[in-house]
Chain A
Amino acid sequence: MKLYFKLLKTVLLNNFRSLKSRFISDKNGKDAKKKAATVFGAVMMILGVGVMVFFLSAVVYVISGISVFDNMHVKLLSTIISGVQIMVMLFGVTGVLSNTYFSKDNEFLSSLPVRPQTVFSVKLTVIYLNELAICTVFMLPAIIAYAAGCVNAGATFPMYFYFMIPVVLITTPIIPLAIVSVLSFPLIRIVAYFKNKSVTTLIMNILLFVAFFAVYVLLADKIGRFVDGSVTALPPALAKTISGFDKAVFFNRYFALALTGTRFFVNALIYIATVAGAVGVTVMLSALLYKKSMTAGEEETRKKSKSPEGTAKPVSGLKKALFVREAKCLFRNQSFAFNSIMGSIITPVIVIIMNVINSGVSALSGSAASNFVNAGMTLFYCLMLLCGTNYTAALAFSREGGAFYMLRYLPVKLKDVLKAKTALANAVSFAGIVLVTITGLAVSRGDVVNVLPTAVVLAIYAYAFNVLCIYRDLKKPNINWTSPYEVIKRNLYPVVPMFYAMGLGMVYMFAAQIIVKYEAALNFGAAVAGFWTGVAAIGAVLAAVFTVVLNKKAEELFERIAI
């Protein structure tokens, strides 16, 4: 236990200083402009997260009030906890894999006289603390909104409910992380069986992500229908989903019962025992399996090359060579690859869901107006998740890590390196746009009038945001990472452009709704054409500005990066 705390303290201290150095300049007080930019970024991020938290809490407040009338509020509480746990699983997969199996400190820690399960526990604790912080930001307001909604509707909670909120926050991420950890042992062994580990890990990762995402969508879909529908009673579909979750995730049901005043000690004990059991099983399995799984995951197979000349043919042309290098480096690191292509995978799924939800509740379903509103919403989601969130661009230089120095000594122009990085980021974005367009055409039954302009607009914004992200990363890269987890999850900097995109998307979405509202007073066809032209023009201006800024500042920023 002493070693566990010593090791945890060391890892956390190293991580904290690494994080601190990204926000607090070494030249204290000298670079006011840099500090102002950091403060601006932080404010934008707080605003963005604040908007998301506000909407989430508002939905929870409304549903909890109604749930009291149906006597479903206890079940709703357990469903909220389950929902957050699914989110932890969804985003915890990458964290667990990259931090426990593909981390640079694995070799060093393996040489120390420390039990593998201690190392595993330390790494899992680091991920847990990260998830706990994220959970707290989203869950604390949601639980308060839940309590306020219920109390406002006449429900009463024992006083200890409020004192137990920290316990809810602390325990919520434990079980999902335990599940992901236990799943990771066989997953890594399966990956080790295949010779092309990076691709296999990536596929496995995507499959797990899609599975967790499907469960989450099931819940979100029902809530989405409810929010758009009646507000006087829980619709049967939502009530059924809440009951289903409550029944399936039994430990959360007992916890919710305890919190709301039913047999506190017995129910709380069942929950705590389940949490303790999950921790126990994970630690026990890690003692048996972690070392072997970690070694299996890390070992790179050295194959006998039959024709060395054939396997390492030089790529003709500098630009092509740089692009191929970028692509290979990205896709052979499953953590970076997974996060880079995640947006392109999720967005088409969201397009399908939003169309299904809208076609179910909208009275205008199938009409030109309805299709245009759908397109506005699709634009919002795609701008946020496909254009604003592209780790291929956002970590363009950071993902180089220790290999960054190569860019300094290779006899290539920075301009060519930037072109290769932009081309790869665009390739990932454009693949997502193609998928969005195909799914959009399918779910809208061939609404070419809106789907094609959406594709064109997204291509412009994707390029603009990729250039912006590359510029931002060049400005503040994090090349001194130990695990990809540090630059992907424990790093809010690459997420900031998503909030810019979200802001733009919201404006466009509301503009589309305003056009539909005043449809009768407007020439609808001309208004729609004007809308798409305007959105495209703004995107083109942004793309031009970002490109000019990047080209102008790139050399200076590149030289400033300390190796």
Chain B
Amino acid sequence: MLKINGLTKSYGRSDVKAVDNLTLEINDGEIFGFIGPNGAGKSTTIKCVTGIIGFDSGNIEVNGYDVGKQPLEAKRSIGYVSDSHVIYDRLTGAEYVGFMASVYGVSDADGYKARIEKYLDIFNMRDVFNSPIKSYSHGMQQKINVIGAIIHNPKLFILDEPMTGLDPQSAFQLKELMREHCKEGGTVFFSSHVLDVVEKICDRVGIIDKGRLIAQGTIDELRSSGDASLESYFLSVTQKDEKENTVSE
């Protein structure tokens, strides 16, 4: 579903590589967690995959489409939940989701109404759906963001820090939604700092630090190195990387 090969990205004329020769493959029906310290390159990778920013070298393929050469086809296969909230906050939730459906070409014939009903129930948003997004709480804005991103039933669902601001019930529902999406043949690629969530729901995990992918595998594969939890493994590999860099400098 998602193939990243040798992705390298620097900002402006900086000598620092935000993403450094990253190669990654995510299969159909898989939930892939992307973790790393702050500034490791998670959001940059996601922005490259979603076509928000360009990249210096390498290539990205989404659902068989090259992001660089066929950006529109690739983007139609993606549903993206960014780490910032809905920009057009003077629209009502209904207007925003309607706009997203129009952009992705979803009509009633594609089951638009049924999908709306389903997500409003899942996220308990029925009462506020016709109110301006500006009046929503932080968590509600995140939920409408998720509904807008998944309304076209994307093959690849990408979420950048999706659990931020969600109450426990909504966080649980989002996890269920991610699982269900994968069961239906979709793929989920998300970044998070909440390692417990990653540990519980991901089929595979990638750890990125200083732009480089330093580990990847199933939770069990990562734990096989002797660490009791994903957290301890994460801390050991990122600190080891830090020490190696200090020595080499």
Contact = CB atoms under 8 A, between A and B. Distances in A.
A197 B13 CA distance: 12
Interface stretch (A31-39, A231-239, A296-304, A331-339): A296-304
Contacts of A303: 14, 16
Contacts of A302: 11, 14, 16, 18, 39
A3 B103 contact: yes
A193 B13 contact: yes
A71 B11 CA distance: 59
A21 interface: yes
Contacts of B195: none
Nearest to B75: A113
B82 interface: yes
A301 B84 contact: no
A225 interface: no
A482 B16 CA distance: 30
A107 B13 contact: no
A3 B132 CA distance: 23
Nearest to B158: A111
B90 interface: yes
Nearest to A108: B87
B80 to A, nearest CB: 5
Interface string A72-109: 00000000000000000000000000000000110110
Given A3-B103, A112-B103, A13 B12 contact: no
A491 interface: no
A18 interface: yes
A295 interface: yes
Contacts of B71: 113
Contacts of A299: 11-12, 53
A296 B89 CA distance: 27
Contacts of A3: 102-103
Contacts of A111: 50-52, 75, 78, 80, 82
B28 to A, nearest CB: 21
Contacts of B136: none
A300 B53 CA distance: 12
B87 A113 contact: no
* Interface residue range, chain A: 35 or more
Contact of A13 (B52, B76, B95): B95
Interface string A21-41: 100000000000000000000
Contacts of A292: 54
A300 B103 contact: no
Nearest to A300: B11
B172 interface: no
Interface in B94-114: 95, 99, 102-104
With most chain B CB atoms within 10 A of its CB, the pick from A14, A15, A304, A482 is: A14
A6 B99 contact: yes
A371 to B, nearest CB: 52
Contacts of A197: 12
A110 interface: yes
Contacts of A108: 82, 84, 87
Given A10-B99, A295-B53, A113 B14 contact: no
Q: Is the interface of B mostly helix, strand, loop or mixed?
A: loop
A114 B104 CA distance: 9
* Interface residue range, chain B: 35 or more
B80 A480 contact: no
Contacts of B13: 193, 195, 301
Interface in B142-195: none
A18 B14 CA distance: 38
Given A192-B12, A299-B11, A299-B53, A11 B103 contact: no
Nearest to B53: A295
Contacts of A11: 88
Nearest to B104: A113
Contacts of A304: 14-16
B89 A195 contact: no
Given A195-B13, A301-B14, A21 B90 contact: yes
B115 interface: no
Contacts of B84: 107-108
A13 B91 contact: yes
Nearest to A116: B71
Nearest to A13: B91
A14 B51 CA distance: 25
A413 interface: no
A114 B76 CA distance: 9
B3 interface: no
Contact of A113 (B11, B89, B103): B103
A17 interface: yes
Contacts of A17: 90-91, 132
A482 B88 contact: yes
With most chain B CB atoms within 10 A of its CB, the pick from A108, A197, A291, A304 is: A108
B134 interface: yes
A11 B91 CA distance: 9
A115 interface: yes
Contacts of B51: 110-111
Nearest to B145: A108
Contacts of B89: 14, 480
Contacts of B214: none
B235 interface: no
Nearest to B96: A10
Nearest to B47: A107
Contacts of B18: 302
B53 A113 contact: no
Contacts of A10: 88, 91, 95, 99
B12 A301 contact: yes
A296 B13 CA distance: 10
With most chain B CB atoms within 10 A of its CB, the pick from A10, A105, A482 is: A10
A197 B91 CA distance: 33
Contacts of A480: 89, 134
A197 B134 CA distance: 32
Given A111-B50, A111-B80, A115-B72, A6 B88 contact: no
Interface in A382-415: none
Given A13-B91, A14-B88, A110 B11 contact: no
Given A295-B53, A304-B14, 18 more contacts: A10-B95, A11-B88, A14-B91, A105-B87, A107-B47, A107-B52, A108-B84, A111-B75, A111-B80, A112-B103, A113-B71, A195-B12, A195-B13, A295-B54, A299-B11, A302-B14, A303-B16, A482-B87
The 9 A-B residue pairs whose C-beta atoms are closest, nearest first, are A301-B12, A17-B90, A113-B75, A14-B88, A110-B52, A105-B87, A301-B14, A14-B90, A299-B11
Interface of B: 11-16, 18, 39, 47, 50-54, 71-73, 75-76, 78, 80, 82, 84, 87-91, 95, 99, 102-104, 132, 134
20 contacts: A3-B103, A7-B103, A14-B90, A15-B90, A17-B90, A107-B47, A108-B84, A110-B51, A110-B53, A111-B80, A111-B82, A113-B75, A114-B72, A295-B54, A299-B11, A301-B14, A302-B11, A303-B14, A480-B134, A482-B88
